Amino acid sequence: MATRLPTRTPTRPNRPITDPRAAALIVLDRVERSKATLDAVLDDAAPMLTALSRRDRALFNQLVYGVLRRRLRLDAVVAAYANRSLEKISPLILNILRIGLFQILFMDRIPASAAVNTAVSLVRTRKASKAAGFVNALLRNALREPHRFHIPDALESPVDHIAITHAFPHWLASRWIDRMGVAETDRLCAAINTTPPITLRCNRLKNNLAELMKALSNQAETIEIVDTVPGGVNLIRPRVPIPEMKAFVDGRFAVQDGAAQLVSLLVGPRPGETVLDACAGLGGKATHLAQLMGNQGTIVAMDNVDAKLARLENEAQRLGVSIIRTRRADLNRSLPLETQPRFDRILLDAPCSGLGVLRRNPDTKWSSRQADIARLANLQARFLDHLAPLVKKNGVLVFAVCSMEPEENEGVINTFLKNHVNFAIISAHSMEEKTVLPFLGDDGFFRTAPHIDHLDGFFAARLQRTR
Catalytic residues: 402
Largest Cα span, the chain: 73
Measured on CA atoms in the order 231, 237, 239, 244, is the torsion positive or negative? positive
Strands of 226-312, DSSP E: 232-238, 253-255, 274-277, 298-303
Residue closest to 351 by CA, chosen among 332, 338, 327: 332
> What DSSP assignment string belongs to 131-170?
GHHHHHHHHHHHHH-GGG--PPPTTT-HHHHHHHHHT--H
CA-CA distance, 27 to 52, in Å (whole number)?
14
> What DSSP assignment string belongs to 219-242?
SEEEEEE-TTSTTEEEEEEESS-G
> What DSSP assignment string belongs to 46-94?
GGGGTTS-HHHHHHHHHHHHHHHHTHHHHHHHHHHH-SS-GGGS-HHHH
CA-CA distance, 464 to 399, in Å (whole number)?
11
User: What number of helices (H) and strands (E) belong to the chain?
Assistant: 19, 12
CA-CA distance, 453 to 438, in Å (whole number)?
10
Measured on CA atoms in the order 260, 266, 272, 277, is the torsion positive or negative? negative
Contact between 466 and 430 (Cβ < 8 Å): no
Contact between 380 and 83 (Cβ < 8 Å): no
CA-CA distance, 123 to 22, in Å (whole number)?
10
Contact between 344 and 392 (Cβ < 8 Å): yes
